Amino acid sequence: MTPTGDVTNGADAGPGTRPTVLILGGTAEARTLAAALEATGVAVLSSLAGRVARPRLPVGAVRIGGFGGPDALAQWLTEHGIERVVDATHPFAERISASAAQACGAAEVPLLRLERPGWTAGPEDRWHWVDDLPQADTALRELGARRVLLTSGRQGLAAFAGNAGAFFLIRCVDPPAPGDLPARHEVLLGRGPYTLDGELGLIDAHGIDTVVTKDSGGPLTEAKLHAARTRGLPVVIVRRPPRGDVLTVATVEEAAAWALSLR
Ligand code: NAP
């Protein structure tokens, strides 16, 4: 794994090349934004949490690891001469977004939130919206789910640990921590993009009758929704958590324009 906190590739953070735009990343949009800004000559520094063993790295300078909370992040922004922050973290990464809002307020650094739109059900979809993973487990029991494709990530799986009525095919990027997993499960390591044919094959091979997902949005992982529609399967989908009042855009183009307009 890449050393925590180090600038690991691209331009270093020395005088004259000091990054001015910090991108809080971990998403495809963050990587695309880093490339777009680099191409215009803006110095960017991308930050990753360090949760994934082999992260997809953006172009340009990268640092990895938590900052130590909002106060430490505010200090870090000042020390590193950061002039703009784009919070392009995942729609379900709540803590870092709250931390960024607080830190940018304290350090008086402009903050933009880049968040891809959520998914929208079509008329033939059988989606069941829930607020969190414990509610997702309740929905599975109510639906009588027996064989579940669980794609909500490796965190929070304890919510399903008491569900003895179903087998769970748990798909995630890195293995979940042992313990607090459903009694009957199989872990399938994988990372998008996924295809409709691939998802149909997975559903058929494992006899899946229900899909669980977060409303992550975006094209890289949405094939499971098309596959569920094709097979007429219910989808239990977790709503995004509420967000604070931060200037927000939905596209990389808008975020790049914001960063460039402030040069
Ligand atoms: P989280 O709960 O919001 O953040 C937990 C802590 O991790 C934060 O308080 C922060 O530590 C650190 N952190 C998170 N993102 C960071 C970043 N980009 N750079 C530096 N530190 C970061 O986040 P999470 O849900 O665990 O997600 C972690 C990362 O994975 C995020 O970058 C997110 O974009 C990505 N991701 C998350 C999901 C998901 O479903 N949650 C899915 C795909 C990708 P300090 O308080 O010490 O600063």
Q: Give yes or no for residue 230 having a pLDDT over 80.
A: yes
Q: Which two tokens stand for residue 3?
A: 């050393």
Q: Give yes or no for residue 26 having a pLDDT over 60.
A: yes
**Distance (Å) from CA 104 to ligand 1 centroid:** 17
Question: Using 50, 70 and 90 to split pLDDT, how confident is the model at 3?
Answer: very low
User: For 144, left (φ over 0), alpha (ψ -120 to 50), or beta?
Assistant: left
Q: What mean pLDDT comes out for the span 51-75?
A: 96
Tens digits of per-residue pLDDT, 129-157?
999 999 999 999 999 999 999 999 999 99
Q: Which atom of ligand 1 is nearest to the CA of 98?
A: 3
Question: Using 50, 70 and 90 to split pLDDT, how confident is the model at 1?
Answer: very low
Q: Which long-range contacts (CB under 8 A, 24 or more apart) does 74-80 make?
A: 74/102, 74/103, 74/104, 74/106, 74/107, 75/107, 76/103, 77/22, 77/103, 77/104, 77/107, 77/109, 78/107, 80/13, 80/18, 80/19, 80/22, 80/45
**Distance (Å) from CA 144 to ligand 1 centroid:** 33
**Distance (Å) from CA 172 to ligand 1 centroid:** 16
**Distance (Å) from CA 53 to ligand 1 centroid:** 14
Give the pairing of strands 111-114 and 126-130: unpaired
Could you tell me which residues are beta bridge partners of residue 182?
none
Q: What pLDDT, on the 0 to 100 scale, is given for residue 261? A: 87
Pocket of ligand 1 (CB under 6 A): 24-27, 47-49, 51, 66-69, 73, 89-90, 92-96, 99, 153, 214
Q: 127 and 211 in contact (C-beta within 8 Å)?
A: no
Tens digits of per-residue pLDDT, 56-67?
999 999 999 999
Element (H, E) at 79: helix 70-79
Q: Which atom of ligand 1 is nearest to the CA of 24?
A: 18
Q: What pLDDT, on the 0 to 100 scale, is given for residue 178? A: 86
Q: What mean pLDDT comes out for the span 174-180?
A: 91
Q: DSSP assignment of 18-76, as one string?
A: ---EEEE-SSHHHHHHHHHHHHTT--EEEEE-S-SSSPPPPSSEEEES--SSHHHHHHH
Q: What mean pLDDT comes out for the span 13-42?
A: 84
Q: What pLDDT, on the 0 to 100 scale, is given for residue 179? A: 87
**Quick one: which of 73, 61, 70, 67 has its CA closest to 18?**
61
Q: What mean pLDDT comes out for the span 232-238?
A: 98
Task: Among 71, 75, 90, 239, name the best residue to mutate to test ligand 1's pocket (greatest count of ligand atoms within 8 A of Cβ).
Answer: 90
To the nearest whole percent, how much of the chain has pLDDT over 70? 92
Q: What mean pLDDT comes out for the span 110-117?
A: 98
Q: Which two tokens stand for residue 249?
A: 């855009």
In this structure, which residue's CA is closest to atom 26 in ligand 1?
Answer: 93
Question: Using 50, 70 and 90 to split pLDDT, how confident is the model at 8?
Answer: low
Q: What pLDDT, on the 0 to 100 scale, is given for residue 4? A: 55
Tens digits of per-residue pLDDT, 89-100?
999 999 999 999
Q: What pLDDT, on the 0 to 100 scale, is given for residue 13? A: 45
pTM of this prediction? 0.92
**Distance (Å) from CA 97 to ligand 1 centroid:** 8
**Quick one: which of 257, 143, 114 has its CA closest to 210?**
143
**Distance (Å) from CA 95 to ligand 1 centroid:** 7
CA angle 263-77-23, nearest 5°?
60
